[in-house]
Structure 1
């Protein structure tokens, strides 16, 4: 923090004017980039940055283009952040930009506990405004998504990661068979969901995190925030955890958005769920390679199980009715209770309890977040040691990916249901869709 203060002060003096830096604090959010809150000359600001160029490797565009896009969105009337300055190489802070800070709520759990009455209308309106941003104002570096090519890239990544998760293979094959015709491209935010918006008493205050923006199909944005994982437990409210799809679509169309195609929406719901499943696996690969050694990366790598559960729920209608009605196989056996020396699981539990009792109470800010992530990691290990559940099955994945096996095969959908239930119970036992799936499928605890 002290290393950042001096160069940031120099930058702010150039970008905004004379002042003093105070309250510099690392924000807990941000899966890939750092965010720092601070005050300068009586104003509140946020620095969004990558500490070095290494963090930007492989990205289609840099922070200068991202900032230009945010400026264009703000100028088009979107509730985007107000950018006040873009970092240069000689600023010595890395790459990034500084925005005026909006004082509002970003925590999805708090927002969804009591969403403003206008929330769904606000979400539809802002998305319609994003999709209406004039093409001439969009930086040339913002890429155009070719859906077929993007799907092929997901398939390649899947095979690179082992190609051994049957439900992911099933989803890839389904997307290949249901690829929509190209749509008239618009500016797609790419990460429009709870967690990336801020809300105040008047409703939606600002749309954050523009790093995944591209030009493409508007339905991709429409679907992303409706994924089960981004409803944060409110799975009975399919539009962002706030309300119904009918009301959301109506709000979008009333604000100038094009008429929603339900089949195209469903494709993108499956595609982006698949995309995030592979994104989770990629997080684990980043940790394994040493590119990002944080415990958060390796924990997110185990959230693939959530997306496999969701994918099966989205795709199981493809199975014949008789197969959907078939009873599940018995659950995996649980390891017997220990008698002698402490087991690996008990040692893990002891360390987790120590973190909870001795470390977490005194931790603050980002450090407190990291402790919570570490405790979650140890919980996964403890459950995994007890259950011994694995999700890999290369032969079945190959058969599904090639189309040699389909959900019409007797007993397959029941087998896949049991597998995703058992894996999600280890990796994400509090995931709301897990309880719903057990209820729907007749799965046991």
Structure 2
């Protein structure tokens, strides 16, 4: 912390003038980048950074381009943060930039129980403003997305990861069969959802996390925040967990957004759910390769089960009515645990109890967050040891991917439903859509 404090003070002196650094602390969360809050000369700021240039390898653009885009959005009237300085190699802090801190709430758990009345309309309006930013204001390095090529890349990644998850194979084939015609490209934020927007009593206060921005189909942004996972349990409110799609679309169109096409919206809802399923698998691969050895990576890697559940729910309407009405097969019985020496389950339970009783109470800030993540990881292992549930079926996945098997096959939908229910119960038992699916499917 001392080294970062000294280096950050030198950077702020250079970009903002003399002052004193105070209250430096890492903010919790942040799946990819670190965020550090601090005060300088009486004002509050946030440092967004990657700890090294190597961490940014493979990304379409780096932090200087991202910062330039955020500046362009801010200048264009979007509620983006105000960038005050971009790190250079000589600053020795990694790569990133510093923004003025917006004091507002970001946690969906605190926002969604009682959102400001204007929030759905604010979200639609702000997205229209993002999509209206002129091409001349957008840095030239921001890439243009080719949907067909992007889908092919997802398919290639799926095969690299084993190609053995039937729900993912089903979604890839569906997207290939329903690929929309190219749209006039606009600036797509790429991660526009609850958790990446800040809210105060007056409504939307800031749009964060621009690292996935690209040029492409505006419907991608429209759909992403409406994915089940980003509604954080508010399943009856399909627009961000806040309100209705009709209200959201009306606000977007009233603010200058293009007319919403329901079929195109549905494609992107399926595509981005598929994208995040593979994104979760990629997190596990990042840990396995040694690129990121945090416990958070392996835990997120198991959230693929949530997206597989959601993909089956999104695509089950493609099945004949008789298949949608078919009862689920029974869950397989887990093997009985041996007696005698402590079992694997008991060892894992002991470690989890130790973290909960001895480590978590003494931890603060990001360390407490990491302790909770570690407990979650061990909870997954405990449930997995009890259930013995697996999600892989390479033969079925290959048949679905090739179109040789479809949801018209007798019993297939019921089999997929049972598989995703059982896997999600192990990996994410508190996922709100799991209880909803059980009620709907009788599982």
TM-score greater than 0.5 by the shorter chain: yes
What is the alpha-carbon distance in structure 2 between the residues aligned to residue 208 and residue 356 of structure 1? 32
Deviations 1:314-356 (A, max 9, x none): 0001111111111100012134366433321122112111211
Aligned residue for 1:44, secondary structure, equals: strand
Deviations 1:358-396 (A, max 9, x none): 111111100000000000000000000000000000000
What is the alpha-carbon distance in structure 2 between the residues aligned to residue 194 and residue 240 of structure 1? 6
Match of 1:267 in 2: 267
Q: Is the 8 A contact 2:194 2:240 kept in 1?
A: yes
Aligned residue for 2:104, secondary structure, equals: coil
Which has the higher mean CA deviation after the structures are superposed, 246-255 or 219-228? 246-255
Match of 1:155 in 2: 155
Match of 1:164 in 2: 164
Q: Give structure 1 regions of 4+ aligned residues with deviation exceeding 2 angstroms.
A: 334-342
What is the alpha-carbon distance in structure 2 between the residues aligned to residue 120 and residue 345 of structure 1? 45
Cα deviation for residue 199 of structure 1 reads 0.7
Match of 1:439 in 2: 439
Match of 2:179 in 1: 179
Match of 2:64 in 1: 64
What is the alpha-carbon distance in structure 1 between the residues aligned to residue 436 and residue 335 of structure 2? 25
Deviations 1:249-305 (A, max 9, x none): 111111111110000000000000000000000000000000000000011000000
Match of 2:308 in 1: 308
Q: Is the 8 A contact 1:332 1:422 kept in 2?
A: no
Please give the TM-score of this superposition, normalised by the length of structure 1.
Answer: 0.99
What is the alpha-carbon distance in structure 2 between the residues aligned to residue 435 and residue 367 of structure 1? 31
What is the alpha-carbon distance in structure 2 between the residues aligned to residue 127 and residue 350 of structure 1? 48
What is the alpha-carbon distance in structure 1 between the residues aligned to residue 37 and residue 332 of structure 2? 47
Match of 1:242 in 2: 242
Match of 1:420 in 2: 420
What is the alpha-carbon distance in structure 1 between the residues aligned to residue 391 and residue 72 of structure 2? 44
Match of 1:190 in 2: 190
Tell me whether 1:329 sits opposite 2:332 in the alignment: no
Match of 2:12 in 1: 12
Deviations 1:10-66 (A, max 9, x none): 110110110000111011121111111000000000001111111110000010000
Equivalenced residue count is 443
What is the alpha-carbon distance in structure 1 between the residues aligned to residue 355 and residue 53 of structure 2? 34
Aligned residue for 1:113, secondary structure, equals: coil
Tell me whether 1:200 sits opposite 2:200 in the alignment: yes
Cα deviation for residue 67 of structure 1 reads 0.3
Match of 1:37 in 2: 37
What is the alpha-carbon distance in structure 2 between the residues aligned to residue 42 and residue 208 of structure 1? 23
Q: Is the 8 A contact 2:337 2:343 kept in 1?
A: no
Tell me whether 1:295 sits opposite 2:295 in the alignment: yes
Over aligned residue pairs, what C-alpha RMSD do you find? 0.8
Q: Is the 8 A contact 1:278 1:304 kept in 2?
A: yes
Q: Is the 8 A contact 2:223 2:265 kept in 1?
A: yes
What is the alpha-carbon distance in structure 1 between the residues aligned to residue 251 and residue 361 of structure 2? 44
Q: Is the 8 A contact 2:67 2:86 kept in 1?
A: yes
Give unmatched runs, 5+ long, in structure 2.
Answer: none
Deviations 1:48-95 (A, max 9, x none): 111111111000001000000000000010000000001111111111
Please give the TM-score of this superposition, normalised by the length of structure 2.
Answer: 0.99
Q: Is the 8 A contact 1:320 1:407 kept in 2?
A: yes
What is the alpha-carbon distance in structure 1 between the residues aligned to residue 82 and residue 332 of structure 2? 53
Give unmatched runs, 5+ long, in structure 1.
Answer: none
Q: Is the 8 A contact 1:299 1:376 kept in 2?
A: yes
What is the alpha-carbon distance in structure 2 between the residues aligned to residue 67 and residue 219 of structure 1? 24
Deviations 1:85-131 (A, max 9, x none): 01111111111100000011111110001100111011011101000
Match of 1:95 in 2: 95
Q: Is the 8 A contact 2:164 2:392 kept in 1?
A: yes
Which has the higher mean CA deviation after the structures are superposed, 304-313 or 84-93? 84-93
Match of 1:352 in 2: 352
Q: Is the 8 A contact 2:345 2:385 kept in 1?
A: yes
Q: Is the 8 A contact 2:143 2:214 kept in 1?
A: yes
